[in-house]
Structure formats: C-alpha cells, structure tokens
Chain A
Amino acid sequence: MDMFFRYVGENWIYLIELAYQHILMVLLAILFALVVGVPLGIVAARVPKLANLILGLANVVQVFPSLAMLVLLMIVFGLGFTTVVIGLFLYSLLPIIRNTYVGLTQVDPAITEAGRGVGMSSLQLLFRVQLPLAMPFVFTGIRVAAVIAIGVATIAPLIGGEGLGREVYSGINMDNPARLYAGAIPAALLALLADLFLGKLQRRVGQGKAA
C-alpha cells in the first residue's frame, strides 16, 4: 500500500493525463453513439418493421467478446486511438438504441393521440412530446453505455490506445502491483462517478413527469 501511495504521489500528473485520455475516448464514443443510436432508436420506434432488424443487429454487436471485437477492428483500422473509439462506440450503441426505443414506445398512447389531436405535425409530436418523455430512458442508456465503455476502455492499450489501461498492463508486465492499482482504482472510480453523475442528471430530466 505504501508503495502505491508513493507511486501515485510521484506520478500523479502522468496518471491524470491517462485518466483524461480514458475519459476522452469514452466521451467521444458515447457522443457518436448518441448521434447514431438515438435516430436509430427513433426509426425503430416509428417503423415497427425495422425495429427487429435494428435491435437485432445492435444486440449482435453487443454480445461480441470485447477483446475479439477490438482485435477484429484492429485488423480493419490498424492500431491506434481511432480504433479504440470505434470499438467503444459500437459497445455503447445497443444500450442507447434500445433505451431510446423503449422510451419512445412506452409513451402513453393517449398522450400521443392528444398531441396529434391538438394539431402537432409528426416532427412536432416527436420533439415536443415523445422525445422529452423518452429522455429519462435515453439517460439510462447513456449511463449503462458509459459504465460499459469505461470498463472496456481499460483494454485499449492492447490495440494501441491510451488511457488508464496502460498502467494496468505495465503493472502486470513488470509485476508491479502499485502500478496495476494506480490504473485499476482510478478506472473503477471513474465508472462509479459516471454512474452517480448521470444518475443525478437523469433524475433532473425526469422531473416534471407524472408519477
């Protein structure tokens, strides 16, 4: 333990840099996943015929073992940061698509009918009623995706990425537990913090909703 604290004390600037890279990869991945996943979720909710196809594909991606997927991506995209972000993006996709889809389909049909009845166009209905009501679900998706992505990101160094995983692998390779912990503990903390923070945010979005 002593060794761990000394190591952290001496290398904290480096560790913060790793954490920053870690967060950056996850953030980018989730951002892309939102940009792609929310529209796919909307399409799935609005076109029932496509729902199975979209959700099925996302599901296939999700069950792919992470290491195998990253290796596959490496073969296609080569080593590096981009490849890691693409991998994390693919992992984040399913939770976001699925939750957007569920969020939209759980909207009370009476409320949808009221929206149409007062004269909202299809897009107005989506943006003023359905999406706002689906927001708490979308946030759950983001939360789940973030926690998964933070975990998966620790294996990024294997395919040329950065992040806290670097310390974990250095620790293993050099048989240095202090370094291993210096990577693993902040990664775990990150996941916890992300979960907590997004949970708070989610509650705020869901405020006005009927009990």
Chain B
Amino acid sequence: MIRFDRVRKVYEDGFVALKNIDIEFKEGELTVLIGPSGCGKSTLMKLINRLNKPSQGRVLIREKDISNIDPVELRRSIGYVIQNIGLFPHMTIASNVAVVPRLLKWDKARIDKRVDELLRLVNLEPDTYRNRYPSELSGGQQQRIGIIRALAANPDIILLDEPFSALDPITREQLQDELVRLQQELKQTIVFVTHDMDEALKIADTIVLMKDGDIVQTGRPERILRHPANEFVKSFIGEKRLQTETADELYTVDEVMTENTVTAYPTRGLAEAIKLMEKRKVDSLIVVDRNHTLLGYASIFRVLDRFREENATLSDVMIPFEHVVESGTPITAAITLMNEHALPYVPVIRGARFAGLITKGSIVRHLADVYTPVETTDAVIPEMAAAGMEAEQLSQEQKGGGAI
C-alpha cells in the first residue's frame, strides 16, 4: 500500500533525520512507528503526505511515486491527526469536522449528514456539540474530533502522530479502543506514531521500531516481544515486560505442577475408589503402582460403569494416559499440548514415575504468583480459577494426598 524505497531525509541544516528507509505499510493494517523522541518517526510519517519530501529515494502509494501527485490533492485523500490535536480554534466543531469535505466541495446537505454521522461514531451527540468551539471541549473530546476530522472524507490511509500522548490514561485507553474498533470496521491502512510501548502492543498489527533515523526491527508485537533483535530493542521494550512475556519459556512444568494429587493403587476396589473420590472431592484418580510408576487414570464415570462387578479393581477400569510430559519440559509446551488436545490436565513424569499434575488450576496459581504483586494475589485467583474449576477438583489443595 505505502512503500518506502531507500528513503533518506536530510534537513536543510544538514541533520540526517532518516538514513536509508525501506519499509512497506500493508493495506488494511494498523502499523505503529515507535522509538525514542527525535528518532525520526514524525519525519517518516510526514513523508507520506508530502509535508516532507525525501532527499533521496521514493515514497510510493499503490506503487505510484507520490512526488508525481499534487500535494494538496494527496493530503485531501489522506487523514492526518497530529499530537497537539490541531483543531482550528476559530471554527465550530462542525466546521472543523467538515474541513476536508468543504475543500472537496461536497454539497451542504451531504456535509451536514456526514458531520452528524461522524459525531455519533465517537459518541458525541451532534445537537449538543455541533456548534461548540474546540475550547469548550475536554481534551479527550477534542482528540475525538481530531480523529473524525481525519475520517471525514473516507480516506483509506490515515496518519496519526502521537494522537493520545497528552491525554489522561483512562481517556487514552478509551480512545485506543475506539480507534481499534473503527479500524476493524472501516479497514483503513493506518500509520500510528507513539513512544509508548504499552500503546503499541495494544493496538498494533505490526510494530516498526526506530532508532536514530533507522529501522531497528519490524514485526508483529508478539514476535518483537519474544525475539527482540538486539539490546536496544530489549531495553526499549523494558525489562519488566520482557520478563513477563518470555518468562513462560524459562519456567518448567516442575515449577507449575501440583504434587498434591489423589493417587491410588490399581488393586483398589471400586467401592473404595468412589469413597476416596467423595472424600477428596475429585472426579478421577491417578493410578500408580507401589514404585509410583504412572499407570493411568480412572474417572468417576468409568468406575460407576463397572460398579456392579464386585471383583473389579481400578486396574480394570483405568485408562493409560495418551499424553504425558517429562520433567524439565517448558511450561509453554505443556500448555500447547493441553490446548491442542483439549486436556483438562496432563501428568508430569520423571523417568517412569509420576511426579505431579499440570492442571488449569495449577497454571492459574503459577501465573498469579509470577505476575501479580503479593497483596492482590487473593483477589485475582478466584476469578481466574473459575475457568479451571474442573481440574481444580482433581488436585488437592489443602492436605497432602499421598497414595493409599
């Protein structure tokens, strides 16, 4: 959609703002340009609507070199939102929103209709706000107007230069959500500049990380978090975020598994088995032999099925595990396995011996330990554990549940 072909930008004073930029902004994607202040984000963005012109190289939109397009025409076809909002203070809200349609000489009825439509789009009642002046609006409302002004003539490219950086965190979150919602509806190609990594991670389809006029790394947010290209990227992402995002790979099943499981020997009779399940409030038993070798599991349904046979034991009803994980396996692998096969839990073995159980409950507890500050841990667990209830019953929380 938008392609930079070996673009270099040197300002009149000789400052090299962009070194050698090759990049493509994909159609229908929200691409975030991020980097420290002064690294050239705005410079790069303004090359797209010809507020800047390249010193070398070309900028192409749909493979057309934009230096051949009249800049005024070009800008009317590209939405542009700047950091300081840039509403025209002497114009009413309606006039501000209608600026581009007026320049494009839409008729009045069409403009009025469009203005109302856009105001509603960002939850501002047209009758209330139409005739107000920008100074009569809050910062968040002004920025909403800035955004719909850019949307007014239905451009398929929108440039936003740190649009939310001056807003309080709550308003910022709201507007981020609104922007993402609008983009998913309207599918424009969006280039969004920010220096806030949280913002980038939240809204980006693709992140472009810049430093000193160069692009350091480009990729999906997930990929950049997991595989930062170098120390700069790491430090920019922030140690804290890196830890929380990549730590999963460092933790093994041994740290996550619960050892308080209800196990039983295969020689156990079925009546005894039911009693045990009842007492420990679980719906299945892990069957191990005297050496603690894992044999399989017996669910309450299987047990009830054969309950009439007085001589039947657990060895008759138990089913071997199809999936087990070795001690030392990264927890991410175990989670993937559970996801793929829709397993409520998966046993961990050391050699052939049963070591413990990864359940949804144990994962939640682990997450809570790792990610939440101690004092809020209690508040977080019950809510999250609801999803893992079933598995939670299997593992024993209170007292140790050794073999019987």
Interface residues of A (CB under 8 A from B): 108, 110-111, 113-121, 124, 128-129, 132-133, 208-211
Bound together, the chains give a CA A189 to CA B92 distance in angstroms of 38
List chain B residues, Cβ under 8 A from A119.
72-77, 100, 103
B157 to chain A: closest CB distance in Å? 12
List the 4 closest A-B pairs by CB distance, nearest first. A114-B86, A119-B76, A119-B75, A210-B89
Bound together, the chains give a CA A108 to CA B83 distance in angstroms of 13
Cross-chain contact B80 with A114 (CB below 8 angstroms): yes
Contacting residue for B103 out of A111, A118, A208, CB 8 A: A118
Please report whether the interface of chain A is mostly helix, strand, loop or mixed according to DSSP. Answer: helix
List chain A residues, Cβ under 8 A from B89.
111, 133, 208-210
Write the chain B residue with the least CB distance to A206.
B90
Bound together, the chains give a CA A2 to CA B149 distance in angstroms of 68
List chain A residues, Cβ under 8 A from B133.
208, 210
Chain B contributes a number of interface residues (CB within 8 A of A) equal to: 28
Can you list 22 pairs linking A and B with CB atoms under 8 Å apart?
A108-B86, A110-B86, A111-B86, A111-B88, A111-B89, A113-B51, A113-B82, A114-B80, A114-B82, A116-B51, A117-B49, A117-B80, A118-B99, A118-B100, A118-B149, A119-B72, A119-B103, A121-B72, A208-B135, A210-B89, A210-B133, A211-B135
B134 to chain A: closest CB distance in Å? 6
Q: Known contacts A119-B72, A120-B103; is A208 also within 8 Å of B92 by CB? A: yes
Known: A118-B76, A118-B149. 19 other contacts (CB 8 A): A113-B86, A114-B82, A115-B88, A116-B51, A117-B49, A117-B75, A118-B99, A118-B103, A118-B150, A119-B73, A119-B77, A120-B103, A129-B88, A129-B90, A208-B91, A208-B133, A208-B135, A209-B90, A209-B135
Bound together, the chains give a CA A156 to CA B115 distance in angstroms of 56
Bound together, the chains give a CA A117 to CA B76 distance in angstroms of 8
Write the chain B residue with the least CB distance to A117.
B80
C-beta contact mask, B262-287 vs A, less than 8 Å → 1, else 0? 00000000000000000000000000
- Of B72, B87, B90, most A-chain CB atoms within 10 Å: B90
- With an 8 A cutoff between CB atoms, is B67 at the interface? no
Q: Known contacts A113-B51, A133-B90, A209-B89; is A120 also within 8 Å of B84 by CB? A: no
B168 to chain A: closest CB distance in Å? 19
B44 to chain A: closest CB distance in Å? 15
B47 to chain A: closest CB distance in Å? 13
Write the chain B residue with the least CB distance to A136.
B90
Contacting residue for A117 out of B51, B77, B87, B91, CB 8 A: B51
List chain B residues, Cβ under 8 A from A210.
89, 133-135
Cross-chain contact A110 with B76 (CB below 8 angstroms): no
Bound together, the chains give a CA A116 to CA B103 distance in angstroms of 12
List chain B residues, Cβ under 8 A from A110.
82-86
Write the chain B residue with the least CB distance to A205.
B90
List chain A residues, Cβ under 8 A from B74.
119
- Of A111, A124, A132, most B-chain CB atoms within 10 Å: A111
Contacting residue for A120 out of B72, B90, B149, CB 8 A: B72
B48 to chain A: closest CB distance in Å? 11
Write the chain A residue with the least CB distance to B85.
A110
Bound together, the chains give a CA A133 to CA B87 distance in angstroms of 12
Cross-chain contact B90 with A108 (CB below 8 angstroms): no
Bound together, the chains give a CA A90 to CA B84 distance in angstroms of 40
List chain A residues, Cβ under 8 A from B84.
108, 110
List chain B residues, Cβ under 8 A from A113.
51, 82, 86
Bound together, the chains give a CA A29 to CA B192 distance in angstroms of 53
List chain B residues, Cβ under 8 A from A211.
135
List chain A residues, Cβ under 8 A from B82.
110, 113-114, 117
A106 to chain B: closest CB distance in Å? 12
B361 to chain A: closest CB distance in Å? 53
Q: Known contacts A108-B84, A124-B103; is A118 also within 8 Å of B75 by CB? A: yes
Bound together, the chains give a CA A83 to CA B224 distance in angstroms of 77
List chain A residues, Cβ under 8 A from B85.
110
B338 to chain A: closest CB distance in Å? 51
Cross-chain contact B75 with A116 (CB below 8 angstroms): yes
B208 to chain A: closest CB distance in Å? 21
C-beta contact mask, B170-198 vs A, less than 8 Å → 1, else 0? 00000000000000000000000000000
